[in-house]
Chains A and B, each alone.
Chain A
Amino acid sequence: MINDKNSQKIVDIIQNWARKHSIWVLGYGTGCGAIEIPPTMTSRYDAERLGVRGAATPRQADVLLITGYLTTKTLKRVIRVYEQMQDPKYVIGFGSCTINGGMYYDSYNTIKVLDKYLPVDVYINGCMPRPEAVLSGFGQLQKRIAEGRADGAKQYKENLEWYRANQKKIIPNWVMPEYNW
């Protein structure tokens, strides 16, 4: 029954609806962006009404929220955390630093373009983005999930070699477990 094409479509719609309205966020608060998360979550902007809620570990999380710049050192941890998350999983790049390096455009130690290393679903622009922008970003992500376009995990799996080559260029001594999905 489930293999039938039409019923699979219906199941997909229901599942995507659930995924859309229940977004558990693992905040990777490396940079200054982490300070914008408390106002987003608490009384004033209350992201929980959209189903957005914090998760404690990557195993439980749906969204990896990368708030701010990533040094080569933290990139390693971010990749690790991303690979530990369960499919389906999404990445939100938060702030200018993840988009083009922001004010760290000439830093010797921070990466400039996040989507070369991880499949980013939504970028939130700004330095720093206000909570309104963050909520709008979550809205965009929900839209993508509902349309079934947020398939970063699939993309990552299919282009693993390309991502690995990029990651290993930055991290020469790669001693992490292999991603074998």
Chain B
Amino acid sequence: MEEVLYNVLGAIATFLVAFVVGMTYGGLNRKITARVQNRKGPPFYQNFIDTLKLASKKSAIHHGVMQHFGPAFLMVTSVMSLLIVPVLTHNQWFPNLNFHGDLIFLLYIMVFGPLGMALGAGQTGNPNSAIGITRGLSQMVGYEIPWVLALVALMIQYHTTSIVGLMAVQAQSGTWLMFSSPFAFIAAVMAMLGMFSYSPFDVVIAPAEIASGPASENGGKYLFTMMSSGSVFAFVKLTLYVDLFMGGADNIVILLVKTFALYMIPVLYSLTTVRYRTEQSIRWFWGWPSFFGLLAILQAVIF
């Protein structure tokens, strides 16, 4: 019983850290985008104000039970994957489920939320939502290929399918996996561009085209939950990459430095590119990223 309580409290603490970091990163993204465009930009805490405002909306509408539950599905994905991704290497601060952190489980729990959310968006009856979702699902099939190639390469090279196991490999050898398995790292980072769905892979949201797609009928508390979930999930993804390829982090400062450095890749790439069509982005993912993924597997087999 005590252990359960300890875990629950740890999970809440982890969630709060992830929320704050994710929100701040989102705000910094807006700030950096603004500075690159020679604007002053919003303050870095703008995303907190936005979520607070959304939470303090007085009214809300929904088109049925699935739309009502949709953001909760998303939250399940974010928090569950947060629970199984180790936040820090020596994990006294954030106890959670991460000793069971299995990569294949992670891959599948990542789909739980989007599918529930997609059903919610489908129930609104808004055609824009459904269009956005078909684009999103199609694009997901695109970037999962290099991502899985990279992960399978790591798994067969180091004979473990758990995140903790891969971190232990790095701790033992003292080399980060991004150096010992460079091709897997390249493929995974290219897949990460798709996962963050910033430009040029922002065809799902496309505000000017399909009115923000899946979220087009959500406002107030629903949008608040979605935005929070998105921030937490961004943190999870970055932490996962740090754990897999950069040897994890001993304390929170190192974690912030590493995740921020990684976060700059999709942010800066998005500033230089314009939106791809869905099939273009799918083909992009099945081109060079998958090629690097295959190289990674080749490397894993040979060495």
Contact = CB atoms under 8 A, between A and B. Distances in A.
- State whether these chains interact: yes
Interface of A: 14-15, 18-19, 21-22, 24, 42-43, 46, 48-49, 51, 53-54, 56-57, 59-62, 85-88, 181
Interface of B: 30, 34, 37-43, 46, 49-50, 52-53, 56-61, 207-208, 211-212, 215-220, 223
Nearest to A60: B219
B15 to A, nearest CB: 21
A54, A57, A85, A181, most chain B CB atoms within 10 A? A57
A49 B58 contact: no
A60 B60 CA distance: 10
B58 A86 contact: yes
Contacts of B219: 57, 59-61, 85-86
A175 to B, nearest CB: 18
B58 A88 contact: yes
B38 A49 contact: no
A21 B43 CA distance: 10
Given A22-B46, A51-B42, A60 B218 contact: yes
Contact of A86 (B39, B52, B61): B61
Given A22-B53, A60-B215, A46 B46 contact: no
Contacts of A42: 37, 39
A14 B52 CA distance: 9
Contact of B41 (A18, A48, A88): A48
Given A51-B46, A57-B211, A59-B217, A86 B57 contact: yes
Contacts of B50: 22, 24, 51
A46 B39 contact: yes
A162 to B, nearest CB: 21
A86 B60 contact: yes
Contacts of A48: 30, 34, 39, 41-42
Contacts, number: 82
5 contacts: A42-B37, A46-B39, A49-B40, A56-B216, A60-B219
A85 B59 CA distance: 9
B32 to A, nearest CB: 13
Contacts of A53: 42
A18 B52 contact: yes
Given A14-B52, A21-B49, A87-B58, 16 more contacts: A18-B52, A18-B53, A24-B50, A46-B39, A46-B41, A48-B30, A48-B39, A49-B42, A56-B208, A59-B61, A60-B212, A60-B218, A86-B57, A86-B60, A86-B61, A88-B57
Given A19-B56, A59-B217, A86-B220, A43 B37 contact: yes
A177 B42 CA distance: 38
A46 B34 contact: yes
Contacts of B38: 43
Contacts of B60: 86
B33 to A, nearest CB: 9
A85 B60 CA distance: 9
| Shortest Cβ-Cβ A-B pairs, 10 listed | A59-B219, A56-B212, A18-B52, A15-B56, A22-B53, A56-B207, A87-B59, A46-B39, A18-B53, A87-B58
A61 B41 CA distance: 20
Nearest to B207: A56
A128 to B, nearest CB: 22
B53 A19 contact: yes
A18 B39 contact: no
